[in-house]
Structure 1
């Protein structure tokens, strides 16, 4: 494998808010040096390495070093609690850990623990208990190892319902060039990316979708534009400055873009964009329609999970004809919607549990959740063991387009009626005074559960009884009575991951029984 193909001087990675960058020659040589360092330290295919780093310019260098060494690669979310970090590092069995200096005292605390990985490197500055990454790798040759088996990602679930669980697969058993080509082909075939493309990715790389997007971008030889944190105006500036052709975003970013002042939106130059890909969380219909009106028919949506067990995607043109759909099955998989009790497939238009079946060439071995046999078993269809689910509920239409309703574990049963919180969230977030919202159920003696909404007001909007009344009135005009929250409260910020997923269990624990009735 030669990263960057025939143009080693092409810009591979740039971090827009720091100005740091790597050419493909630097990325290739840096990843080869680190691979040799790990090999000299005794790491062999199947061993585990971990990376705890923000969107640093060296992030993908470490990633490709692991991929070209046959190693099992785990990212540690920098926003995890100390207990969660300990769990991931101990559970992964990582013998090597790379951090960036910005992690600071948290990394130093890890180094003092008896369970800390024995080989520790820090990028970009001194960290007590860690060797200097830059000084360590320069001692090794910038040439590939004689054999380069493809590594595998071992990423962890969000941990919103307990400690994070590792999503595991066997090593592919192929050369890294085969795995890299697979990543490149997916972006090329699905979203028209080429070596001349420029891709903006403002979300943290430690999440599955941004990491896949970045890996494919670099496997193709295109340019990847990162930022250390998401800022809505920086996203627009990056698109303009680098003439970006592609972008990967999440729906909450769309909401924040639409809340910008009209003059800022009108001044933004997004004419270079060809594909804007979004997923990770449902996108309200009104929000997506407004983005297509602004940016044009360049917005594509996907539905998939860290489990990599199947996916869908849909273009703007298709979506406008099937509003609310997340698309049809991507090549290599089939979607089945089944009754939750019998396991039998249900007719078009009827909600059920969504299952993926992988078909054709290149079928992956089913994933497992490490140390969670019940969760693994629950992800397998009772009648078709190779069908797997992410735990989502939805339905297919007559043309095979999938519509997601909600997650199985998010459904609220109030007064004997099933309620999808997602529908209520989508309605409330379209109000101009709302920046973000979460809807969930809490125990209720009379109803079993009552529906609660927690709203993060838009910038410049103050929480008040008047705002509460206005939002509830907005909901009553658009929803059936049982879908209107019984309780509505305000918060400065919702606990949402940088990948766009909201931690509803945390909200239920924090707000259950303590919310002011609306």
Structure 2
């Protein structure tokens, strides 16, 4: 079926071409568009049968796989908010999200049963299902009545350390009605078209970018291949075996790919690749150039946030002409750079990045104050410092002063600090990100002790409180941390002092 004549979106494609290959799961099992739609329709009816109505919230604590896609698509056609939850979180962390989003029903993976049920008990959620099979049981594989678009609500943290749901208004239309605009946008920004392409999933679908890309792939009629996990050689093998044409990755993955021996790299055919998208962390110029020397000019970069979505983008050949840029504003977006007084600065001068778009509106769920604080009028600040060149290309100077991006994953210092301060032996603490060749940054905790305690004891204290990826790689004890007279901690000052000491220790 040629892309130009392909019906609008997943649901229509599946009805028109049910035998089309939709998903190759991590275990190699293949599911057609028709079979996937049948499961989606049954689950949609099952959710409605449980009393869920437009605007209600459903959460999924699901590993990458068919159930995660079914929940995404089922909620997407009956006007529900779907909250994908990081399965690495502790029960307490999951319970917080379930309470905050007012989840009416939770679906989880088999290996997560104990932790999720504990979280649901804490949050008071009684409708809990292992997988989607029971939700689908007894319901016909026909489209539900009164189909209307749902939306994904991702949870992201801020300077308070507590995650907040990024909630967008629900469209008052059927899912198919948004597809023409979506296809136009990704064609302009990503050179993606509807047709017989193959999309490779390499990252957890509880992150906004991988989740958005897998949804996009299905609305374009692509086949989705799910990697069991990211292993450099295994990913190369999947690309060659299935003729993968596009994928979403993070810079840490590129770094790991480049560490493969030349003889291993040469074993695999990656000539099918046309677009590999990356975001979530700054990619070193040398790494990006090395990947494109190997794979060809296929790296598409975009910059934004869970709140702003894609705000800037740059195609491969544009980037090679301006190494280091994250691109120009995408269609429907405007950008400006402001100084500390709120005045616009000229090209080449750094300031705070602001963006706005009439098509992208959001609020933090149940937190009007936080929503207002993130805006200057109708302009949103992702929180990064950068500058525009004469042609409007954005170059970032620093990614969010306090945010730590490690392996493409956001880690929020305030959340880690709050957990450490719960220990009676901790008088004060600062958590910072320190540059790391492979991961981008590693988490370091500088601790002022109130009484004797070891680093191992503090890491043990964090075990039930925070997911492992948030734990400091290093705990270092200090005599005192710099605070202002009002008690504010300057993490930038702490980071600069720490890096200066680190340089003195490792220098000549």
Per-residue CA deviation, residues 308-363 of structure 1 (Å, 9 max, x unaligned), is 35511111111111010011111011111111x2111101011111111215xxx2
Residue 218 of structure 1 deviates from its aligned partner by 0.5
Contact 1:2-1:28 within 8 A present in 2 as well: no
Q: Which residue of 1 aligns with 2:61?
A: 52
Query: CA–CA distance in 2 between the matches of 1:103 and 1:122?
Result: 9
Q: Which residue of 2 aligns with 1:193?
A: 193
Root mean square deviation of aligned Cα = 3.4
Query: CA–CA distance in 2 between the matches of 1:181 and 1:52?
Result: 31
| 1:260-339 → structure 2 map (5 Å cutoff) | 260-339=260-339
| 1:347-358 → structure 2 map (5 Å cutoff) | 347-358=346-357
Higher relative contact order structure (alpha carbons within 8 Å, sequence separation ≥ 6) = 2
Tell me whether 1:115 sits opposite 2:114 in the alignment.
Answer: no
Query: CA–CA distance in 2 between the matches of 1:142 and 1:512?
Result: 60
Residue 226 of structure 1 deviates from its aligned partner by 1.1
Residue 47 of structure 1 deviates from its aligned partner by 0.7
Query: CA–CA distance in 2 between the matches of 1:68 and 1:114?
Result: 30
Instruction: Provide TM-score, normalisation by structure 1.
Output: 0.76
Residue 457 of structure 1 deviates from its aligned partner by 7.4
Query: CA–CA distance in 2 between the matches of 1:79 and 1:503?
Result: 8
For this pair of structures, how many residues does the alignment match? 433
Give the direction of change, closer, same or farther, for the CA distance of 1:141–1:159 in structure 2 (3 Å limit): farther
Q: Which residue of 2 aligns with 1:387?
A: 379
Contact 1:13-1:22 within 8 A present in 2 as well: yes
Contact 1:248-1:277 within 8 A present in 2 as well: yes
Tell me whether 1:369 sits opposite 2:368 in the alignment.
Answer: no
Tell me whether 1:85 sits opposite 2:74 in the alignment.
Answer: no
Q: Which residue of 2 aligns with 1:19?
A: 28
Contact 1:187-1:217 within 8 A present in 2 as well: no
Q: Which residue of 2 aligns with 1:163?
A: 162
Residue 163 of structure 1 deviates from its aligned partner by 2.2
Contact 2:113-2:130 within 8 A present in 1 as well: no
Per-residue CA deviation, residues 180-199 of structure 1 (Å, 9 max, x unaligned), is 44444433443223221101
Unaligned runs of 5+ in 1: 124-132, 412-420, 430-435, 441-448, 459-501
Contact 2:15-2:34 within 8 A present in 1 as well: no
Q: Which residue of 1 aligns with 2:446?
A: none
Give the direction of change, closer, same or farther, for the CA distance of 1:370–1:513 in structure 2 (3 Å limit): farther
SS at the partner of 1:104?
helix
Give the direction of change, closer, same or farther, for the CA distance of 1:114–1:324 in structure 2 (3 Å limit): closer
SS at the partner of 2:336?
strand
Tell me whether 1:7 sits opposite 2:6 in the alignment.
Answer: no
Instruction: Provide TM-score, normalisation by structure 2.
Output: 0.78
Unaligned runs of 5+ in 2: 1-10, 414-429, 440-467, 480-497
Query: CA–CA distance in 2 between the matches of 1:56 and 1:219?
Result: 17
Q: Which residue of 2 aligns with 1:153?
A: 152
Query: CA–CA distance in 2 between the matches of 1:393 and 1:254?
Result: 25
Residue 391 of structure 1 deviates from its aligned partner by 0.8
Q: Which residue of 2 aligns with 1:397?
A: 389
